[in-house]
């Protein structure tokens, strides 16, 4: 059982897991969505949670790889990745750039860092 847990931990804290999760976020961020869903507030909660998980994943990878300042790196990664996606969305006719999304992403990144610190 310990071998299975170690294998799972090794995968979840790997560059591959971070890349896969980042790709997942990118795909769901650029696909067309129905604009009239009325999910304005819950959309921000979704951003907050998704980027919180991204930050936890990034922090785990940076800690395992013994990078200096892993919490800062994960927060920077989450923020810059979210900013990149918002910039991409600004060029898509069915998406839009929103500063509030960037704020929700950043706050989620902070949550992820705090979870790993505590």
- Torsion over CA: 94, 101, 21, 75 (sign): positive
Match 């129905």 to its residue by tokens. 34
Q: What is the pLDDT of residues 6-40, one digit of tens each?
A: 666 667 778 888 999 999 999 999 988 765 455 56
DSSP 36: G
CB within 8 Å of 85: residues ≥ 6 apart: 25, 26, 29, 30
Task: Note the pLDDT tens digit of each residue in 50-62.
Answer: 999 999 999 988 8
pLDDT tens track for 52-90: 999 999 998 888 878 889 899 999 999 999 999 999 999
Q: Which domain holds residue 80?
A: 2-30+39-117
Domain count, the chain: 1
* 75 close to 57: Cβ distance less than 8 angstroms: no
């Amino acid at each position: 059982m310990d071998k299975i847990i170690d294998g799972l931990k090794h995968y979840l804290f790997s560059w591959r897991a971070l890349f896969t999760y980042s790709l997942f976020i990118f795909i769901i961020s650029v696909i067309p969505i129905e604009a009239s869903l009325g999910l304005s507030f819950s959309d921000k909660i979704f951003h907050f949670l998704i980027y919180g998980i991204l930050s936890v994943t990034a922090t785990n990878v940076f800690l395992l790889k013994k990078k200096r300042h892993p919490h800062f790196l994960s927060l920077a990664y989450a923020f810059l990745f979210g900013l990149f996606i918002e910039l991409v969305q600004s060029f898509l006719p069915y998406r839009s750039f929103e500063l509030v999304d960037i704020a929700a992403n950043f706050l989620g990144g902070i949550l992820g860092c705090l979870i790993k610190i505590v």
